[in-house]
Amino acid sequence: MGKIITIKNNKGGVGKSWLTLQLGHAFTLLEKEDGTSYKVLLLTSDSQNNILTFSGADNIKFYKTLEDFVRTGELNEIRIRENLFYVPLKNSNFSKRFREKLKISVEKLKDEYDLILIDSVPVLNIDQDFIELADKIVIPTYLDKATSEGIARLMDEVGVEKIKAIIPNRYMRSKKGDAMYNELKETLDGTGIYLTDPIKQSGIIHNLLEDGKTIWDTKSKDVEEFQVIIYQVAMELIECL
């Protein structure tokens, strides 16, 4: 039975879509206990479908969407890497009936996929469903005051037990940022939430994105520090799921 991980932060631009793709790709490179690979599906509540661009699959013009799947029950996922699939979204506003059907439909996908990762957007009604569906939540964040306050609210909203990891991303060294990191570390102490080292705002990550590549598509030594962080998050998730 598959598990669902939702990547959430109510703040825009923190790297939710980027992280969903990197983490999803990481899982496909790991081995399950039986020696086979994880089959991973990426979904989104963002009709911009940034993951298609980030993975270099943005030349695909005609595709079926999550809405089609919910309507017909037929999944036409796009293969973006070996064992890594993506289903785009067309709209961003949904009826109550659609939302009910969506939840049932996504649950069914657990039969076919080991892991379903959901890329969210700041505030949208179906994100509520994706949070409810999630076995675990992963939060990418900035290390600033407003975003940290947002995390505290999110922890209240979804419950501490559901959050597995917080990943400071697009980090730029500053005294205030470092103080914020230490504060966050203290707050999370004893909660079971894994706080990673910060991922830098990086020119290499930017260039890879421009080329439609993930951090796992390159042999460059410069990405190793990012690979280690994402790999650790993947292992933490596998252990608790």
Ligand X SMILES: Nc1ncnc2c1ncn2[C@@H]1O[C@H](COP(=O)(O)OP(=O)(O)OP(=O)(O)O)[C@@H](O)[C@H]1O
Binding residues for ligand X, rule: CB under 6 A, are 12-18, 46, 50, 121-122, 169-170, 199, 201-202, 205-206, 209
Instruction: Find the shortest distance in angstroms from Cβ 149 to ligand X.
Output: 17
229: buried, middle or exposed (CB in 10 Å: 19+, 13-18, 0-12)?
buried
The site string for Mg ion over 49-88 (x = CB under 5 A, - otherwise) reads: -x--------------------------------------
Tokens of 225: 């520090």
Instruction: Find the shortest distance in angstroms from Cβ 44 to Mg ion.
Output: 8
Nearer to Mg ion, 169 or 188 (CB): 169
Instruction: Find the shortest distance in angstroms from Cβ 76 to Mg ion.
Output: 22
> How many CA atoms within 13 Å lie on the side-chain side of 81?
27
Binding-site partner at residue 35 among ligand X, Mg ion, none, CB < 5 to 8 Å by type: none
As a whole number of angstroms, the distance between CA 188 and CA 194 comes to 8
Residue given tokens 């961003």 in the structure block: 92
Instruction: Find the shortest distance in angstroms from Cβ 22 to ligand X.
Output: 9
Tokens of 58: 């943005």
Residue 17 binds to Mg ion (criterion: CB under 5 A): yes
Rounded-to-5 percentages of helix, strand, coil across the chain: 45, 15, 40
Binding-site partner at residue 14 among ligand X, Mg ion, none, CB < 5 to 8 Å by type: ligand X
> How big is the CA angle at 156 (ends 161 and 177), to the nearest 5 degrees?
95
Instruction: Find the shortest distance in angstroms from Cβ 140 to ligand X.
Output: 7
Sign of CA dihedral 125, 13, 63, 105: negative
Window of 32-40, 48-56, 80-88, 208-216 that interacts with Mg ion by CB under 5 A: 48-56
Instruction: Find the shortest distance in angstroms from Cβ 143 to ligand X.
Output: 12
Binding-site partner at residue 113 among ligand X, Mg ion, none, CB < 5 to 8 Å by type: none
Residue given tokens 């009709």 in the structure block: 47
Residue 141 binds to Mg ion (criterion: CB under 5 A): no
Nearer to ligand X, 39 or 164 (CB): 164
Q: Which of 12, 24, 91 is nearest to 51 (CA)?
A: 24
